[in-house]
A and B are shown apart, each in its own frame.
Chain A
Amino acid sequence: MNAVALDIQKIRQDFPILHQEVHGYPLVYLDSAATSQKPKSVIEALSRYYLETNANVHRGIHTLSELATSQFEATRSHVAHFIGGVANEEVIYTRGTTESINLVAQAWGDLNIQTGDRIVITEMEHHANFVPWLRLAKRKNAEIVYIPITGDGLLDLAEAEKLITPNTKLVAFTHMSNVLGTINPVGALTELAHKQGALVMVDGAQSVPHLQVDVHELDVDFYAFSAHKMLGPTGVGILYGKQQHLEAMEPYQTGGEMIHMVSFTDVSWADLPWKFEAGTPNIGDVVAFKSALDYLDEISMESIRQHEIEITQYAMDSLKATGVITIYGPEDVSLRGGAVSFVVDGVHSHDLSTILDTQGVAIRAGHHCAQPLHSRLGVNSTSRASFYIYNTLDEVDRLVDAILQARRYFVRG
């Protein structure tokens, strides 16, 4: 499919929340890497589910329960198709990327990581793909090492090859950095890992909303992402895992929904994917998530990527042209996504965020849940503007104007 230029004004009509004023200025929402806004179709699907269909899934023998179950499972089929045509059994619902990764760290990690084993992650990880592995390594007395980043915010692949040793059991990394925007070479890293017999866990929270992702082609073992960063509701995450690994794993949580048979003395687990879905799931939000996938399919991931390359290039050029802004991450927009982190000379990121907010411009300030990366970059905090399908070049101009305004406020004379 060829990329077609997005009709941003038409898209914006689908997002009611964008049409409001903040402190007297039209809202400029540049924080989609934290969470995206939701189109009307998703909000209506959520409401329609509760108005018309609400029932528990996989148990009641009545019309509403069957309807709810079929809608709940229809989203799963759509997700399976969306990430490259995997089996439904390989798509597990969770609360979000964080829970997906924790599931693997516990259900796979407990069985497969032993004393002296090595876990390889990277310096650029979000805490969600950092802390579970650090904790697992401590619990198992295993070793954890970090693939360093280069000066321009890429992973150092030569170092990666040295660090991924025969005793490495797992290599975990982000597909797209939430701070640097870097798109990592998943295929190359996966090859290095598999050559040493290690499995691969990818944090796809920032990539799946913005890139076409085919987990088969990438050949990864586990891949995690969240609905809320890709137009869907909060509280829904996906864990993709290769069937053979999921089969071999113990359940993550136990209770209802995930069992096959229970007696007073014994229990057998349900089949995949339900083995990993204990308790009543987040049915309404899962059902509404399908409308988000429909929306993305409709405008196509290729077109989204093309739009984001254009707006990211424009933003980086405009920010750089001020002469007072340091941007982190790759300069080449073909190697990065639409999350742009920067520091304004003379203005702390929190002060900047406050001043921008008074002009209706919403950005993120702080360490973006990546403290080790910030200490590696040598800064306490950065500001981050992140773009999605509804952002315009005019909004980038508003951002830059507001930054210059803030700087005039702080840097006198």
Chain B
Amino acid sequence: MSVDNNLDDLYREIILEHYHDPHGRHEIHDADIRNEGKNPLCGDELALEIKLSNGEVEDIAVRCQGCAISVASGSMLTDAVKGKSLEEVKSISTKIKGMLKGEALPEDFDPEDLEALQGIRQFPVRIKCALLAWATLENGIKDYEAGKKETLNNITITSTEE
């Protein structure tokens, strides 16, 4: 019995690398942005912290308890947004969410490792796994911009599952 080829699209080598050794799992004690994301349908949980410096992401941490896809997506997210301004971060998030939903990426945008998440489109019930980190990021920025940086809130990703 051999594992289906489609699986290699979902679990690309780069995704498994991020899963086994996720980036940015440290804690940021003086974070400016904190948010927690939860996917109540599957139980995945994610904590995100950002330290800003001159309006740019100086440090970011993501700690995720979840499946390979949600862990890898969170790990890649930390690489993608470090050093970027919040406006740039929001723009990246919009593009990646679009990509996960099947939209084409702009030609001048290099998603780097995140490109590997494209294979998830063939597994619709798993898209929410990849979205968890990005939804938590966007929610955290929204709260920060609304002046609610100390509040923790849970987000819910809806899915067709269950």
- Complex Cα distance, B6 from A402, in Å, reads 16
Pair A365/B42 contact, Cβ less than 8 Å: yes
User: Nearest CB to that of B40 among chain A residues?
Assistant: A371
Which of the 9-residue segments A98-106, A279-287, A295-303, A348-356 touches chain B?
A348-356
B146 contacts A by Cβ under 8 Å: no
Tell me which of A25, A348, A349 has the highest count of chain B C-beta atoms within 10 A of its own C-beta.
A348
- Complex Cα distance, B6 from A376, in Å, reads 36
B65-107 contact mask (Cβ, 8 Å, vs A): 1 or 0: 1111100000000000000000000000000000000000000
Pair B42/A367 contact, Cβ less than 8 Å: yes
- Pick from B7, B66, B67, B123: contact of A409, CB under 8 Å: B7
Given the interface pairs A355-B3, A359-B1, A409-B11, the reply to whether A380 lies near B126 with Cβ below 8 Å is no
Given the interface pairs A366-B42, A380-B44, the reply to whether A351 lies near B67 with Cβ below 8 Å is yes
A78 contacts B by Cβ under 8 Å: no
Within 8 A of A (CB), among B1-57: 1, 3-4, 6-7, 10-11, 16, 19-20, 40-45
- Specify which chain A residues have a CB less than 8 angstroms from the CB of B43 in the assembled complex: 366-367, 371, 374, 380-381
A358 contacts B by Cβ under 8 Å: yes
User: Nearest CB to that of A379 among chain B residues?
Assistant: B43
- Complex Cα distance, B65 from A365, in Å, reads 15
Q: How far is the CB of A413 from chain B (nearest CB, A)?
A: 10
Interface size on A, residues (CB 8 A): 25
Pair B67/A358 contact, Cβ less than 8 Å: no
Pair A351/B69 contact, Cβ less than 8 Å: yes
User: Nearest CB to that of B2 among chain A residues?
Assistant: A405
- Specify which chain A residues have a CB less than 8 angstroms from the CB of B65 in the assembled complex: 380
Q: Which residues of A contact B (CB under 8 A)?
A: 23-25, 348-351, 354-355, 358-359, 365-367, 371, 374, 380-381, 401-402, 405-406, 409-410, 412
Q: Which residues of B contact A (CB under 8 A)?
A: 1, 3-4, 6-7, 10-11, 16, 19-20, 40-45, 65-69, 123, 126, 129, 162
